[in-house]
Chains A and B, each alone.
Chain A
Amino acid sequence: MSLFSAISISASGMEAQRSRAELITENLANADTTRTPEGGPYKRKDAVFTATPVSYSFADQLSMVSGQSDGVAMSDVAVDDSDPERRYMPGHPDADAEGYVAFPKINTAEEMVDLLSASRSYQANVAAFTAVKDMIARSIDLFR
């Protein structure tokens, strides 16, 4: 039970980090987006993680046995609603009356560092996942 639960926990970690990486790449891709369907520039998105209990394989719907540890889930996407960065660019199609254009508040270097962190965390979860798979295989060896 514990090992199967550990597999699900690591899988949830991988999924959460992947979602986080997707948000970061969206931020990077839209670092210069001044026009969105909602009006105004693109707003930076941030992943919000919460520790969440996970169910795991073999558990039937009735018993819903869960392990005693939590996995993780991206429970929310935090949108940066603060004032956008304003740059003086008269003649730009999206310039306002004073000639300022509103740009997303995205620091590309920061986003890259964040992406690296997400990638490392993802790999750590993969390492745990692989280790547990190996332990289960060794347990199955005990049958012989």
Chain B
Amino acid sequence: MPVNQTGMDLGNFLSYLSQRQEVISSNIANADTPGYKTRDVEMPISFSAEFQEARATVVGAPGLVTRNDGNNVSIDREARLLAENTLKFNVAAQSLRAQLKNLRSAIEEGRAS
């Protein structure tokens, strides 16, 4: 695998998680805003190179109850997603580090002493 392609999938996954995190933070900040509806981002079909630079589509979230002031943010849902997102981000970032480390080892292993 060419050097420049290493970790692209994980990098794109991290981008998706970052965009989702932005939306989660927005939901939490607007938990008391009248008329605000919960937002989410669509998960892309694949994380290979074509995904790069495309911003995932912002969509609504199904199955939420709307209160009297028009707001449908469920703070429990957002708290759960926040925890999940953080964990996934950690795993992906660590995996990426390991991949890059392996690549570096492979390149440097052949070094003439």
Instruction: Decide: B31 and A124 in contact? CB cutoff 8 A.
Output: yes
* Contact of B8 with A by CB under 8 A: no
* Contact of B33 with A by CB under 8 A: yes
* Contact of A6 with B by CB under 8 A: yes
Q: How far is the CA of A139 from the CA of B79 in the complex (A)?
A: 22
Given A121-B32, A124-B78, do A139 and B14 touch, yes or no (CB 8 Å)? Answer: yes
Among A6, A51, A138, the residue within 8 A (CB) of B93 is A138
A interface secondary structure, majority: helix
* Contact of A108 with B by CB under 8 A: no
* Contact of A128 with B by CB under 8 A: yes
* Contact of B18 with A by CB under 8 A: yes
Given A135-B89, A138-B89, A139-B93, do A6 and B33 touch, yes or no (CB 8 Å)? Answer: no
**Smallest CB-CB separation from A13: which chain B residue?**
B29
- How far does the Cβ of A13 sit from chain B's closest Cβ, in whole Å? 3
The A5-58 residues at the B interface (CB cut-off 8 A) are: 5-7, 9-10, 12-13, 16-17, 20, 48-51
Q: How far is the CA of A76 from the CA of B21 in the complex (A)?
A: 28
Instruction: Decide: A10 and B21 in contact? CB cutoff 8 A.
Output: no
Q: How far is the CA of A6 from the CA of B100 in the complex (A)?
A: 27
B interface secondary structure, majority: helix
Instruction: Decide: A132 and B32 in contact? CB cutoff 8 A.
Output: no
Instruction: Decide: A142 and B22 in contact? CB cutoff 8 A.
Output: no
- How far does the Cβ of B6 sit from chain A's closest Cβ, in whole Å? 12
Among B21, B32, B33, B97, the residue within 8 A (CB) of A2 is B21
The B28-72 residues at the A interface (CB cut-off 8 A) are: 28-34, 36, 39, 55, 58
Among A5, A13, A49, the residue within 8 A (CB) of B28 is A13
Instruction: Decide: B32 and A117 in contact? CB cutoff 8 A.
Output: yes
Q: How far is the CA of A118 from the CA of B75 in the complex (A)?
A: 13
Given A10-B28, A50-B33, A51-B30, do A2 and B93 touch, yes or no (CB 8 Å)? Answer: no
Instruction: Decide: B96 and A9 in contact? CB cutoff 8 A.
Output: no
Instruction: Decide: A3 and B33 in contact? CB cutoff 8 A.
Output: no
Q: Which residues of A contact B (CB under 8 A)?
A: 1-3, 5-7, 9-10, 12-13, 16-17, 20, 48-51, 67-72, 117-118, 120-121, 124-125, 127-129, 131-132, 134-135, 138-139, 141-142, 144
Pick the 9 closest A-B CB pairs, nearest first. Answer: A13-B29, A69-B26, A2-B18, A6-B25, A49-B33, A2-B22, A9-B25, A138-B93, A6-B22
